[in-house]
């Protein structure tokens, strides 16, 4: 498996959010505006790369029975550092993201990649895998954040693109976009779109409606 594959596969073919359905919680919470989405994406990607790298470095020395505790400890340490960094240099943004930076520890994507990849692979591939998954996650967050901010306020990154009805224009913002359920709907539509383009990602149902094409084998 080449490094290039690790980097590009998680973008669409093996996207952590739309295919593996990991990391949904933060995808709902921080996507009300595009800027918070970007910040969260960068934070998560950095954490993913670092945690994958560190865990991969230690992978031969971690006892299997306590590996989850050790992985979480490593991830938590990295997240605390990132959190302190953001509070020091990006105070406003850190206040808007509030607890969600700290909650990267619980993001199933981080632990998922650590367990599935970093524990069995050398350092450089692990870091690149972390980068790829982080980019895949960021792609989804950017799309959802952009849609929610634009349809909810008529602006992107705080810059108004269309005049809202409140300012005398034609655009009526959709109030639902300020609420979390809209992220669910957008994610659902995104998953539908990706699986329509890549039918191999569709899960097989346990039962199908009997039609005349079915025959007993």
Partner 1 sequence: MTQVALLGADLPGLRPKLLCAQGDRVGRGLALFHDRANPEVVFVSPVSGVVDTITLGPRRSLSALVIRLEPDQHEPDPTSVATSPDEIRETLLAKGFWPAFLTRPYGRIPAPDAVPEAIFVNVTPDNPHAPDPRVVLRDQGDAFPAGLKAIAHLTSGTVHVCQTPGTDLAAGCGDRIRGSFFPESQASGLSGTHIHRLHPVDQNRSVWSIGYQDVAAIGKLIETGIHDFSRIAALAGPRARQPRLIRTIAGANLQELIREETLPGNHGSPLCVVSGSLTNGRQASWLGRYHQQITLLDDVAPQSRISKGGLMGLFRRTSSQPAPLIPTAALEWALAFGVPVVPFLRALSVGDAETASRLGCLEMVEEDVAAVSMACSSGADYGRMLRHVLDELAEDA
Partner 2 sequence: MTGWTLDPFRMRQRSGWTPARVTVAQLIALAAPVAVSLVERGTPQIAVLLTAVVTCLIWELAFGLIRGRPLSLHTATVALIFAVLVPASIPVWQIVVAVSLGVVFGELVFGGRGYGIVSGAAAAAGFLVFFFTGTELASSSEIMALATLPGLVLLLAGGLVSWRILVSVTVVLIIAGLIQDGASSLPSVAITAVFGMVFLISDPVAGATTNPGRVVFGLLAGVLIVLFDTAAGPVVAPAAVVFASLLASLFAPLIDHMAVALIVRRRRARHG
Residues that bind partner 1 (CB under 8 A): 207-214, 216
| Residue 214 C-beta: closest distance to partner 1, Å | 8
Query: Which of residues 60 and 215 has its CB atom nearest to partner 2 in the complex?
Result: 215
| Residue 173 C-beta: closest distance to partner 2, Å | 10
- In this structure, the chain runs to a length of 217
Options 66, 161, 166, 176; binder of partner 2; rule CB under 8 A: 176
Q: Binding to partner 2 by residue 208, rule CB under 8 A?
A: no
Q: Distance between CA atoms of 127 and 125, rounded to whole angstroms?
A: 5
Determine the angle formed by the axes of helices 123-153 and 34-58, rounding to 10 degrees. 170
Which residue, among 143, 115, 104, 149, has the nearest Cα to 20 in the 3D structure?
A: 115
Q: Binding to partner 2 by residue 163, rule CB under 8 A?
A: no
Q: Binding to partner 2 by residue 174, rule CB under 8 A?
A: yes
| Residue 19 C-beta: closest distance to partner 2, Å | 20
Query: Which of residues 84 and 172 has its CB atom nearest to partner 2 in the complex?
Result: 172
| Residue 141 C-beta: closest distance to partner 2, Å | 22
What is the pairing mode between strands 159-160 and 155-156? antiparallel
CA distance to 7, 28, 128, 145, 152, per residue, from 161 (Å):
33, 23, 36, 15, 12
């Amino acid at each position: 498996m080449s490094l290039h594959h690790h980097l590009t596969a998680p973008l669409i073919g093996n996207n952590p959010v739309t295919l593996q359905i990991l990391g949904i919680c933060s995808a709902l919470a921080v996507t009300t505006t595009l800027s918070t989405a970007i910040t969260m994406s960068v934070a998560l990607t950095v954490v993913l790369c670092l945690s994958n790298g560190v865990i991969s470095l230690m992978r031969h020395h971690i006892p299997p029975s306590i590996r989850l505790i050790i992985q979480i400890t490593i991830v938590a340490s990295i997240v605390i550092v990132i959190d302190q960094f953001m509070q020091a240099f990006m105070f406003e943004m850190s206040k808007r993201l509030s607890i969600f930076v700290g909650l990267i520890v619980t993001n199933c994507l981080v632990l998922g990649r650590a367990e599935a990849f970093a524990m069995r692979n050398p350092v450089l591939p692990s870091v690149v895998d972390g980068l790829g998954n982080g980019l895949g996650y960021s792609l989804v967050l950017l799309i959802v954040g952009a849609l929610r901010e634009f349809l909810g306020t008529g602006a992107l990154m705080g810059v108004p693109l269309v005049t809202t009805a409140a300012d005398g224009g034609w655009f009526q913002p959709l109030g639902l976009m300020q609420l979390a359920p809209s992220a669910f709907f957008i994610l659902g539509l995104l998953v539908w779109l990706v699986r329509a383009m890549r039918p191999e990602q569709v899960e097989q149902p346990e039962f199908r409606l009997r039609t005349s094409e079915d025959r007993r084998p």
